[in-house]
Amino acid sequence: MNNRLPPQSLETEKVVLGCMIQDLNAAIAVFGLLQDETVFVDDKHRLIYNATKDLYRRNDPIDITMVSNELEANKKLTKAGGSAYLAEIIGLVDSPVNAETYARTILGLAQRRMAIHLLTQGVDKCYDQSTPINEQLELLIANLLGLSHYGRMGGARLLGQFMQEAYVRLGNIKESPGGVIGVPSGFSGLDALTGGFQNGDLIVLAGRPSLGKTTFCMNLITYPALKYKIPTAIFSLEMSGFQVAVNAMSCYAGLNSHLVRQGKIGQDVFKKLSDTVSVFCGAPIYLDDTSGITISEIKARCRKLQMEFGVKQVAVDYIGLIKEDSNCKGKTRNDIVGYWSRTLKDMAKEMEIPIIMISQLSRKTEMRAEKRPELQDLRESGNIEQDADVVMFIYRQWDKELKGLSPHTEIIVEKQRCGPTGIAHLYFERTTGKFTELSNQPEEDPPY
């Protein structure tokens, strides 16, 4: 039997409360950090904290007399230890300047207690064989990784505070070349529309099959990782790691990917592949090619990647191949896909990163005279349109002379919550899988 006490420090709790009662600025700092009274272990301390917070909400002064009166008015003074106890905790304070530091100690201990609770709960649930073990593990991992937010204060802040942060950010944008303040795509026409992909945004990239959605997405996310060493994660639910690697190598080296896959290359070309491998080994690009992965697993793995490697951009290829879990039972396909897109949007906000999500388009586009996609063509769920901050369509027209799709590619920014819509014109090098600015198009595709 485990008789160990949960992690706690009653003395630190006393000091924090003493600081709050003694100094208004200390109280404000603590209120801005701690979510509620549950981070305190001692019930007396929870009552005192709530009394102090109630005074603050009413703009009443905070001192020992006011806190004592507040507790008395609510018939809780005795339970809180009485006036003598209030005097005792104030006497422990040397200086209220360190209130926030002490509060962070309390928060850390509360997170430890919650971790113990979640792990104990996880052990108990492992005995319940009615739920698949994978789902139990996914939930446990997601809850543990979410502990970094446990007990922290969220909610509303003064609009003026947001304005101050926005002012600083606008200053950075002003000084940034081309106005790109987010994660750059490597395509100036697209970055001129978006300003780069912004933290907290869900970016949907959609198109009909065989237009190069995956290839374009790889172009987007490898550029900042290679040039600026921005840690990036890719969840490839459709293609294997081998396929992704070969395509990425061929694209970067300017080689014909079909011939590379077949091994029909000379020694000099093989040397190019070797050099490319060296370049990518030095880039913070993390690939997960697990098939049949649930949205909970994606969420847990993203948080783990961010904690371990500082990942600042994620791509999911593609939403339609995410595996359904117990949360999807009894729901329509539209509801399920909507649940997935909303989860990815929430992840982008929580992790403060851009997430690129690839989606299919319905066949309705093929039945219209005008083939360019519209928002209503997003397949399986109207919620994708609602959740997305940016919706981009990839479109290439049929070329009668080529008897195939034109290399001229339109990246149609059809929706942008905080910016303009428009079209970026690119050139698609079919054999290598590389997209370039249309102004830089080659006369013909390279032979390799």
Q: Under a CB-based contact definition with an 8 Å cutoff, are residues 180 and 191 in contact?
A: yes
Cβ proximity of 353 and 314 under 8 Å: yes
Top CATH class of 183-440 equals alpha beta
> Which SS3 state, helix, strand or coil, does residue 210 take?
coil
Architecture of the domain made up of 10-149: Orthogonal Bundle (1.10)
Q: List the catalytic residues.
A: 238
Query: Which of 63, 58, 51, 54 has its CA nearest to residue 24?
Result: 63
Percent of all residues in the chain with a pLDDT value above 70, rounded to a whole number: 92
Beta bridge partners of 34: 152
Tens digits of per-residue pLDDT, 317-365? 888 888 877 777 778 888 888 888 898 998 899 888 999 999 888 777 7
Please count the residues of the chain. Answer: 448
Q: What is the pLDDT along the chain (448 residues), one digit of tens a residue?
A: 467 888 999 999 999 999 999 998 888 888 878 878 889 999 999 999 999 988 988 888 999 999 999 999 999 999 999 999 999 999 999 889 889 899 999 999 999 999 999 999 888 888 888 777 877 787 787 778 777 766 665 555 667 767 777 777 777 666 666 667 788 998 988 998 888 999 999 999 998 887 888 999 999 999 999 999 999 999 999 888 888 888 888 888 888 888 888 777 777 778 888 888 888 888 999 999 988 888 888 887 888 888 889 899 999 988 888 887 777 777 888 888 888 889 899 889 988 899 999 988 877 777 776 778 888 887 666 588 888 999 999 988 887 777 778 888 899 999 999 888 899 999 888 888 889 888 654 444 443 3
Q: What is the pLDDT of residues 168-223, one digit of tens each?
A: 777 766 666 666 778 899 898 899 888 899 999 999 999 888 788 899 999 999 99
- Domain assignments of the chain as residue spans, ordered by start: 10-149, 183-440
DSSP of 232-245, one letter per residue? Answer: EEEEESSS-HHHHH
